[in-house]
Structure 1
Amino acid sequence: MTIPAIVLAGSRPGPDPLLTGSGASTKALLPVAGKPMLAHVVTALRASPHVGRITILAQNSAELAAEPMLAGIDGLQFEDSGQGISSSLAAALPDSDAPMLVTTADNVLLTPSMIAEFVAGAEDSDVAVAMVEKAVLLARYPESRRTWLKFRGGWWSGANLFRLSGRRVLPLLDFWGRIERDRKKGLKIIAAFGPWLLLGTLLRLFTIRQGIARAGLRFGLKAKVVAMSEPEACIDADKPADIELIERIFAARRQGAIGAPL
């Protein structure tokens, strides 16, 4: 069986410093390693035997659909989104509890092997989140700077891969819509789930798996963390330094050195 995928390719409010002087009108079309960010992500999804239909969500989806490097890709569709991530996802969910894979247009280092690892680890969950432990990333890329969530047994960074079980997750998406502006502020996000989870995190009483499971229970959901083994899984394109690192990784992949797509 395959799972449909959604790629969040919209623009956030305000200017994006990555676009300054680039000639690109939106981040999803910013060239990285010779082609738009979104094209890298779609190529990886389409190459995965686990992924079925792919939906691109953006405020101006027609602009993305006109990108020549996306032309002719089977099972690809474009839909206009709202202004917020949570509301856009809620509108795109199926009328059932069928699972969906969600990623972002700046997840340019995504590979079929990452998708396979995540899909296997996320099985039987209502909500699953891909994450990379700090030691895994820094062992290969000590120069990389991420936002870390600190739990007992490790520090973790998100990897922009999610599994959502259809309409079951609507209450969670509604909640996320109220706090997504703080998405880079780990403790504020944790505090929003209640004082017990915040206290447990501050005192390192929980592992990240226990913390995510507790957070899911608030909404009656089985929530899981999928620990990704490839450090590149959490390197997305947020800052100029990220782009420089990503370009080096793609160059190494072309030479067959690291993280080549499988």
Structure 2
Amino acid sequence: MSGVTALVLAGQRRGTDPMAAAAGVSHKALLPVAGVPMLLRVLAALRASPGIGRVVVSIEEPGRVLAGLEGLDGVILRPSGTSPARSAAAIFERFGAPLLVTTADHALLTPDMVGHLLRAAPPGASAVAALARRETILAEFPDTRRTWLRFRDGSFSGCNLFLLSRPEASRALEFWQRLEEQRKRPLTMARMLGPLPLIRYALGRMTLREGLDAVGARCRTPVAVVEMPFGAAAVDVDKPDDLALVEATLRAGAG
């Protein structure tokens, strides 16, 4: 797959992110990670990925927020929407498929990760999410704390890396927006996903494939996952412990 548009979601919800405030920057995307703004690390990985044709950054008031930031040559800047899903939907409507979506806090992103997702994405799926298996992550980062998706055939963590490979992926984006609108109403979100799949998941009886089929039925288009062989693909910078882990990993790699 070549000529893919890559979208970096760099906006933030209302209010000041505590990590950004502690670092004296307006957005977490600008947080220095081992001396380099986190957003620039993500952009460097995307630019070095052979399958990526252009890169878009979605952030509030890009002309103001990113003013003076060097390293944005050739990057398309777009104002973010009121939520990540709305931002992704707006870019997808403008640039179409295929669209790779990641986040500005994916400071350990590498061209190998991007390439693996692009190569391994099942051709019949409209939307593909990257997941890493628990054993893969803990082999690299035994002390990390992650949120696990627990299925009968294994536990996984999300990698903040998605591929919207076909026009029908707009249906998955629509479903994502509906979920976001109800994010403060867990019971409503549960009803949207359907009671039977949730019961099977809660009882530990659902396989990953069954979970994908249930989500695909709600999205009205096939969805899939690509299992990543990189534990670092599941590490983002959400809290101070993550920042310390990422910086230690980067120092070890440089050494």
TM over 0.5: yes
After superposition, give the CA deviation of every residue in 1:236-255 in whole Å (9 maximum; x if it has no partner). Answer: 00000000000000001102
Structure 2 CA distance for partners of 1:202 and 1:21, relative to 1, 3 Å: closer
- CA contact 1:148–1:186 (8 Å) conserved in 2: no
Are the structure 2 counterparts of residues 107 and 181 from structure 1 closer, same or farther at C-alpha, using a change threshold of 3 Å? farther
Q: What's the counterpart of residue 104 of structure 2?
A: 105
The aligned amino acid for 1:178 is R
Query: CA contact under 8 A between 2:7 and 2:101: conserved in structure 1?
Result: yes
After TM superposition, the structure 1 stretch with the greater mean CA deviation from structure 2, 229-238 or 171-180, is 171-180
| Cross-structure match for 1:260 | none
1:88 aligned partner: 87
Deviation at 1:82, TM superposition (A): 1.4
Deviations 1:54-91 (A, max 9, x none): 1100112113543433243x3x1101111111111111
Distance 1:136 1:188 in 2: 33
Name the Cα RMSD after superposition.
2.4
Partner of 1:158: 158
CA distance in structure 2 between the partners assigned to 1:183 and 1:94 by the alignment: 23
- Quote the residue 2:209 is aligned against: 209
State the alpha-carbon separation in 2 of the partners of residues 63 and 156 from structure 1.
38
Contact 2:133 2:227 in 1 (8 A): yes
Residue 4 of structure 1, CA deviation: 0.5
For structure 1, which segment, 172-181 or 47-56, has the greater mean C-alpha deviation from structure 2 after superposition? Answer: 172-181
DSSP-derived class of the 1:69 partner:
coil
Matches within 5 A, 1:1-262: 1-72=2-73, 74=74, 76-94=75-93, 98-124=97-123, 125-165=125-165, 167-180=167-180, 192-255=192-255
Q: Which runs of 5+ in 1 are unaligned?
A: 256-262
Q: Which runs of 5+ in 2 are unaligned?
A: none
SS at match of 1:108: coil
Distance 1:37 1:97, change over 3 A: closer
1:147–1:184 contact (8 Å) kept in structure 2? no
- Checking the alignment, whether the CA contact within 8 Å between 2:127 and 2:166 is kept in structure 1 is no
Question: Paired residues, what number?
Answer: 253
- Larger CA deviation: 156-165 vs 63-72: 63-72
CA distance in 2, matches of 1:160, 1:236: 8
- Could you state the TM-score of these two structures normalised by the residue count of structure 2? 0.90
C-alpha offsets along residues 108-140 of structure 1, whole Å, 9 cap, x if unaligned? Answer: 100000001111121412000011111111122
Contact between 2:120 and 2:226, CA under 8 Å: does it hold in 1? yes
CA deviation string 1:31-54 (max 9, x = no partner): 001110100000000000011111
- Aligned equivalents of 1:164, 1:7: Cα separation in 2: 13
- The answer to whether the 8 A contact 2:126-2:167 is kept is no
Task: Compute the TM-score of the two structures, normalised by the length of structure 1.
Answer: 0.88
Matched AA of 2:21 = T
Q: What is the rounded CA distance, in whole Å, between the counterparts of 1:224 and 1:58 in structure 2?
A: 28
Identity of aligned residues (%): 39
Cα separation, 2, equivalents of 1:4 and 1:206: 34
